[in-house]
Amino acid sequence: MPTQANRVGHVSIGVQPEDPPWKRLLFKTVLQPKVASVLVIVVCWLIAAALLPQDVIPGPLDVLREAKHIAINDNPLQAIGITMLRILAAWAVAMAIGTPVGILMASGRVFNGVLRDLVLVFMALPLVIWALLAVLWFGGSLMAPIVAGAAVAFPFTAVNVYEGVASVDRDMLRMARVYRLPKLVVLRKIMMPSMMPFIFASARQAFAMVWKTIAILEIFGASSGMGWEIEGQYERSSLAGVFVWIITFAAVMMVFELAVFSTFEKHTFRWRPKIGDLR
């Protein structure tokens, strides 16, 4: 039997050293959150495919067959690559514009007044409008997805960064003044680290906004990329083909989220105590 203290210390982790092997295996494999979420989706899909007609929800086997066909005849890696390139470029521009705008918004009443309205206007416009305008302006060039993605995402970055600056602990800034710390040290060692949670939130949100915009833009305004492939399958009335590309898209975004954001986050917030570490 686990002791009482042990129960309290490990309550949110779920695995206790005294658990039988089958239970440990269950927790370590199937019940891992990521695995479990994929399993839930697959089960829901199977049920839906069994209940609904073929032309509404294609079965997993049809989709697998279609995926094999696409993998052999088309060049899926190229489509994934070009879309990722567009997303990353637009995302970088959104962050590069949004971060200083957010800092400016926090640095004075005049800036705040002017920029707040501007940011709100950008935020209010639907992303499909930006996709449309960007295609009209820049056609098939790389500029179109960059401009559309950045225009949609930078207001969210700016607002997050603004909140980040506003959240910096005034007591820490007073401490810095008592110890006569130079401005640059205060910026690098106090301001930036306290803003990191907000920078992460803004990077994640901007990334999600950008890939939604670019998927739409590719569907009607590009001749390459995953969105364009989805459009091609739509033209062929291949529901299974559309599904293949939707799943690919979702999988790529999920892997990116796990590989990039989670890794950086773990490193940046290593100072946060883990459960059981507290004295």
Partner 1 sequence: MPDKIVIRHLTKHFPIGKGKPDKRVLEDVSFSVVESSFTTIVGPSGCGKSTLLNILAGTEPLTSGDISIAHEGAGEARVGYVFQAPRLLPWMTVMDNMLFVKPADADKVKYRATAEHYLEVVGLQTEHKTYPLALSGGMQQRAGIARALAIDPDVLLMDEPFSHLDEITAENLRSELWRIWSETQKTILFVTHDLNEGILLADRIVVFGRNSKMLDDWTNELPRPREFTNPAVTKVMADFTTHFFDLQAQADREMAEEAAA
Nearer to partner 1, 190 or 253 (CB): 190
- In whole angstroms, how far apart are CA 243 and each of 36, 41, 237? 21, 14, 12
Of 208, 204, 205, nearest to 249 (Cα)? Answer: 208
**Smallest gap from residue 90 Cβ to partner 1 (A):** 30
- Output the CA torsion sign for 84, 89, 90, 92: positive
Among the listed residues 128, 133, 190, 201, the single contact to partner 1 using CB under 8 A: 190
Q: Is 126 left (phi over 0), alpha (psi -120 to 50) or beta?
A: beta
Footprint (CB under 8 A) of partner 1, residues 44-103: none
**Smallest gap from residue 260 Cβ to partner 1 (A):** 21
- Binding status of residue 267 toward partner 1 by CB under 8 A: no
Q: How far apart are CA 220 and CA 7, in angstroms?
A: 56
* Total residues belonging to the chain: 279
- Binding status of residue 271 toward partner 1 by CB under 8 A: yes
Contacts of 215 (CB under 8 A, 6+ apart): 83, 226, 227, 230, 249
Footprint (CB under 8 A) of partner 1, residues 194-253: 196
Footprint (CB under 8 A) of partner 1, residues 170-189: 171-172, 174-175, 177-182, 185, 189
Where do the H-state alpha helices sit in the chain?
4-10, 21-28, 33-51, 60-73, 76-106, 109-124, 127-138, 143-166, 170-178, 183-185, 192-221, 226-235, 239-256, 263-268
- Binding status of residue 266 toward partner 1 by CB under 8 A: no
Rounded (10°) angle between helices 239-256 and 226-235: 170
- Binding status of residue 11 toward partner 1 by CB under 8 A: no
Nearer to partner 1, 169 or 257 (CB): 169
**Smallest gap from residue 172 Cβ to partner 1 (A):** 6
Nearer to partner 1, 133 or 181 (CB): 181
- Binding status of residue 7 toward partner 1 by CB under 8 A: no
Give the total of residues touching partner 1 (CB under 8 A).
Answer: 21
Nearer to partner 1, 8 or 30 (CB): 8
Among the listed residues 4, 5, 73, 277, the single contact to partner 1 using CB under 8 A: 277
Nearer to partner 1, 190 or 201 (CB): 190
Q: Give me the residues that bind partner 1 (CB under 8 A), please.
A: 171-172, 174-175, 177-182, 185, 189-190, 193, 196, 271-273, 277-279
